[in-house]
Structure formats: C-alpha cells, structure tokens
Amino acid sequence: MKLIYKIIIVLISFTLFTGCPLETAFPLGETTVPVDSTLLGKWLGVDTKSSKDTICFNLFAFNKNEYFMEFYEKGNFNSKERDNLRCFETNLGGNRIMNISEIGNTQKYSYYKFILNGKQLKLSYISDEFIKERFANSSQFINTINKNIGNEKLFEGNIVLKKADS
C-alpha cells in the first residue's frame, strides 16, 4: 500500500513541476521574417508527455510575414470548436520561435520554438516555470530571453506533429 502512495506522490510532483506556456504582453520582435511555405497546411500530432492529447491545426499565410492558424480544440479537423490565432516567426540565437496571439487580442503572446524536418514539426514552449518575472516593456523581456536562449530549461514540452494529407 505504501508503494501506491509513493507512486501517486511522484506523479503529482511531475505535474506540479512542469510549467505552462509563458504568456506576456510583448512579442519577441517585429513581423519581419517571411512566411515559410513549407509550414503551411494541416498538422496533426500528439503531446508526447500526455499521449491522450491530440493536437491539430491548419496554418495559412495571412500576409508575407504572418500566419493565420485555425487551432482545433478537440484535435479533430472537423470540429466546429476552434481558436483563430495570429502567428509570426522570430529568430533568436539560431532558434525559430513562433509568436502566437489570439485574433483580436494582441495583449497576450505565447512562444513556441519549432524545428521543421521535412513533414515533421517539433514544438516546445517557453515555460512560465523558468521565466517567473514580469516585464515593464518589450526590451526587458527580449533581453531576458536572449540571455537564456541557450538554457535547455527555458523550453518545455515535446510535441511532435506530422503534415496531414490534404
């Protein structure tokens, strides 16, 4: 019986010590990086931490430097429940990072590092467990991220997606 309690405590600890995607009022830069056409289309995947969570989104070019993302709530492209998001890429320290905000709400951004390898896309997010401070302006925020960009603890999550057939 004691072993079961130890396992439960360990499982609870893992969920308590993992962060969520950081949200701030500032983007990590300007919308200057051109849209990458290889990112466009439908992506489907699973969060490897929790194989129950299916993730899917459709990415479109909004203009020459921004994307429009339809993010489907239930991991199903046929779902009527979806979020419409604005995205643009920033390059920091050799990392490609997507700045994401809800359409109509540019007061909150979250940040996802991505690695594109053919038809596979790996995502991880800047964690609110690593960055706990609040920022008065975008310069403070960008400086903090630049100082820590090489720290492996800055990013959490391991989401692997594959390009869905159209």
Angle ∠(51,114,105) on CA atoms, nearest 5 = 90
Q: Cα-flanking dihedrals φ and ψ of residue 104, to 5°?
A: 85, -5
Strand partners, 110: 100
Residues ≥6 apart with Cβ < 8 Å to 22: 110, 111, 125, 126, 127, 128, 130, 131
Domains of the chain: 21-163 (2.40.128)
Beta-bridged to residue 43, according to DSSP, are: 57, 163
pLDDT tens, position by position, for the chain (166 residues)? Answer: 433 333 333 333 333 445 788 898 889 989 999 999 999 999 998 655 555 567 889 999 999 999 999 998 777 778 888 889 999 999 998 999 999 999 877 679 999 999 999 999 999 999 888 888 888 888 899 988 999 998 889 999 888 899 987 5
pLDDT of residue 157: 86
What is the reported pTM?
Answer: 0.81
pLDDT of residue 152: 87
Q: How far apart are CA 39 and CA 144, in angstroms?
A: 28
CA-nearest of 61, 4, 12 to 35 is 61
CA angle centred on 94, ends 126 and 86, rounded to 5°: 50
Which pair of structure tokens corresponds to residue 151? 């720290």
Answer whether 2's CB lies under 8 Å from 63's CB.
no
